[in-house]
A = this chain, B = another copy of it.
């Protein structure tokens, strides 16, 4: 049995990893780390899992981590993983990193958005873990830069349409809306219940760090520079993300053709569901799951293509996609651990 560790297990994405891995039949959870809660049991911090995952949380120790695991998920704030990953790779471990540290091929792009990169030599070895798109490279990767939640919701619908030239890669707008869990579990005034309830607003307008991450991939796929207008918004709900994309369809393309293009591109992708005409995706329909639901509307009067994608920001946008990537890396069924029946509400 493959032994896996979760480094940073008590943030929301880390805890979601624990939830998924605890129900995974192909791997064994052998390490949970937490700087803040070392010594406590996991279920002391997340009592929902009492009796299910009670394993103690430990401080991270590279020696011990390497000894007791075969593959590690890094669920830490950016900047921390790039300090720990080189050692793990050197010890022959495989790593799925949920931070931004290994999502960029070009260190300069990373450094513009984040800070100096201490291990730029690893970037060419890392694979961008957009599972349905880069599946083949992921299978053999030793290091995955797991995509951000916003990029996942933007790229899954766009990449096929750009590759197959249904959509002009210029003049794209992504208007995204995220539940609050994306902001993490650290105490902050901005995410207090009373600040978020009955509130809807944009934030980091035109300056969000996920923008260069998306532009990098769009540029790669389009074969020419792509500038994306991206505006994230905060929704008073815990989980879920909806992105509404506005672009220009190629001349002559119909709504059905776009839907068919996506359906065909994702015909072997069990987590992508194309919504029927007239039923736009809803975050509630993907809550707690690894699905990405995609809807399409071509506006005749303007020739504008409207594409909507709904994911659970913590699952397909983080932990679920990370496990999907692990499954690919380990040659396990792609859906293993990710097939819990979705809840009706």
Contacts and interface: CB of A to CB of B under 8 A. Distances in A.
Contacts of A288: 288, 343
A135 interface: no
21 contacts: A15-B344, A19-B341, A19-B342, A23-B340, A47-B285, A48-B285, A48-B286, A48-B344, A51-B270, A52-B341, A177-B177, A180-B193, A187-B192, A198-B198, A199-B240, A199-B284, A202-B242, A205-B280, A205-B297, A206-B306, A238-B345
Which 3 A-B residue pairings sit nearest by Cβ, starting from the closest? A15-B344, A199-B284, A187-B187
Interface in A179-229: 179-181, 185-189, 191-203, 205-206, 227, 229
Given A187-B188, A302-B227, A236 B193 contact: yes
Nearest to A42: B344
A139 interface: no
A200 B242 contact: yes
A47 B198 contact: no
B246 A246 contact: yes
Contacts of A281: 201-202
Nearest to A177: B200
Contacts of A196: 193
Interface string A161-190: 000000000010101010111000111110
Given A51-B273, A191-B192, A341-B23, A199 B237 contact: yes
B237 A236 contact: yes
Give the one of A22, A206, A308 with max B CB within 10 A: A206
A197 B193 contact: yes
A185 B189 contact: yes
A340 B342 contact: no
A304 interface: yes
A293 B53 CA distance: 16
Given A52-B341, A202-B244, A237-B200, A279 B173 contact: no
B187 A279 contact: no
Interface in A308-345: 308, 310, 340-345
A49 interface: yes
B306 A242 contact: no
Nearest to A211: B301
A198 B229 contact: no
A281 to B, nearest CB: 7
Contacts of A283: 198-201
Nearest to A282: B201
Given A192-B185, A199-B237, A229 B306 contact: yes
A239 interface: yes
Given A192-B191, A200-B242, A47 B282 contact: yes
B202 A194 contact: no
